[in-house]
Structure 1
Amino acid sequence: MFKVKIFIFIACLTLATFANAMTIYDSHITKFEEEQLLVKEFPSNYIFETITDCSNDNDILVIENIFISPDPPRRGENVYINASGYLKKTVGFGSYVDLTVKLGLIKLLHQKLDLCEQVEKVDKSCPLEEGEQYLETTVTLPKEIPFGKYTVEAYVYTADEERITCLKANVMFKP
């Protein structure tokens, strides 16, 4: 849902790091080796090409649908996001997103973000009430995002450490 906005923000903040990491990444692992590692590391249920749903039956949010267009996203273009799901119970203040961003196999960022602050960016507010949830938004990806294969992992938890959901995204920005 709001993960794409988070990814955009992170990509802008780490441009210099990406350029240096790309050189290191290219010299240590082949594309085939990377693909094999990703398959082993991230067994998931694919929702579509870019985003995978790594949640389980015990999670609070049941993801029904996530649609992005274009898929995969492209640098410098608008990305339309439409998502729906069902919250099994109300999610309130203190909930957070445990976010990791990698370029290839190099971890660029690991950050804990306040969920309530993030949902405000897509015109929602806490507490998120039990029941059907919908999201429709458009974001513009900066054209300055460096080329490479990015992996974004977002694990979302309540203040009591109960898992709300899990999403992973794999995006390749090509020259």
Structure 2
Amino acid sequence: TQAAIIPHFFAQNDDPVYEASTDLIKHCGDDNDLLTIKEIKLNPDPPRAGEKLTVDFKGTLKEDVSDGTTIEVTVKYGVVQLIKKKFDFCDEASKIDEECPIKKGELNITKDVDLPKEIRKLFIIGRYSVHAVIVTPDEKQVTCLDGRMSFPRHR
């Protein structure tokens, strides 16, 4: 169900020279994570402001993920921390039509997101990074993801 978070990592503009999403999202967990991510596919790749983004996610859960699981998200502008906030995982999962507990086994999730054209105007020009960690109530790490995005000057 990470796909619920992933669209928030991206907000490209109309510049054609951008890295693919595989360069923008990195797994920061380890082999003990409850979620093994097999594939995250974005279309278009990279995502573009003003277009529909389709996220295809495939992975395997080693254990059920239950109520009380949290997502902690940290957003930085350069080295300056802008946001550090915890979200309820099950609330976020419900936004993509998943319900807790999410049973162990194979996950195949597809989600469409409309990225507003005005998204560039919401951010200061520069580089941003996003760090997201999902943890169960008994402190087991589900996964960890690092993402980055840039907003260049308007032409």
What residue number does 2:133 align with?
A: 155
State the TM-score, normalizing by the size of structure 1: 0.72
Whether the 8 Å CA contact 2:7–2:55 is kept in 1: the answer is no
1:166 aligns with 2:144: yes
Q: 71-80 or 148-157, which moves further after superposition? A: 71-80
The correspondence for 1:107, drawn from 66, 81, 102, is: 81
Per-residue deviation, 1:78? 1.8
State the TM-score, normalizing by the size of structure 2: 0.81
Residues 1:73 and 1:6: Cα distance change in structure 2 (over 3 Å): closer
Whether the 8 Å CA contact 1:73–1:171 is kept in 2: the answer is no
Whether the 8 Å CA contact 1:84–1:133 is kept in 2: the answer is yes
What residue number does 1:92 align with?
A: 66
| Equivalent-residue separation in structure 2 for 1:68 and 1:104 (angstroms) | 25
Whether the 8 Å CA contact 1:47–1:65 is kept in 2: the answer is no
Per-residue deviation, 1:71? 2.6
Q: 127-136 or 139-148, which moves further after superposition? A: 139-148
| Equivalent-residue separation in structure 2 for 1:105 and 1:71 (angstroms) | 26
1:143 aligns with 2:117: yes
Whether the 8 Å CA contact 1:99–1:110 is kept in 2: the answer is yes
| Equivalent-residue separation in structure 1 for 2:59 and 2:36 (angstroms) | 5
5+ residue gaps in structure 1?
A: 12-45
Which structure is higher in RCO with an 8 Å CA cutoff and minimum separation 6?
2
Residues 1:75 and 1:53: Cα distance change in structure 2 (over 3 Å): same
Whether the 8 Å CA contact 1:148–1:172 is kept in 2: the answer is yes
**Cα deviation per residue 1:76-122 (whole Å; 9 max; x = unaligned)?**
22221001100001110000001011222221110000000000011
Per-residue deviation, 1:75? 2.2
| Equivalent-residue separation in structure 2 for 1:69 and 1:148 (angstroms) | 24
Whether the 8 Å CA contact 1:153–1:169 is kept in 2: the answer is yes
Q: 103-112 or 128-137, which moves further after superposition? A: 103-112
Secondary structure in 1 matching 2:113: strand
What residue number does 2:26 align with?
A: 52
Structure 1 or 2: more helix by fraction: 1
Per-residue deviation, 1:134? 1.3
Per-residue deviation, 1:6? 4.8
What residue number does 2:17 align with?
A: none
Structure 1 or 2: more strand by fraction: 2
What residue number does 2:5 align with?
A: 3
**Cα deviation per residue 1:145-172 (whole Å; 9 max; x = unaligned)?**
3243221111000011110001111112
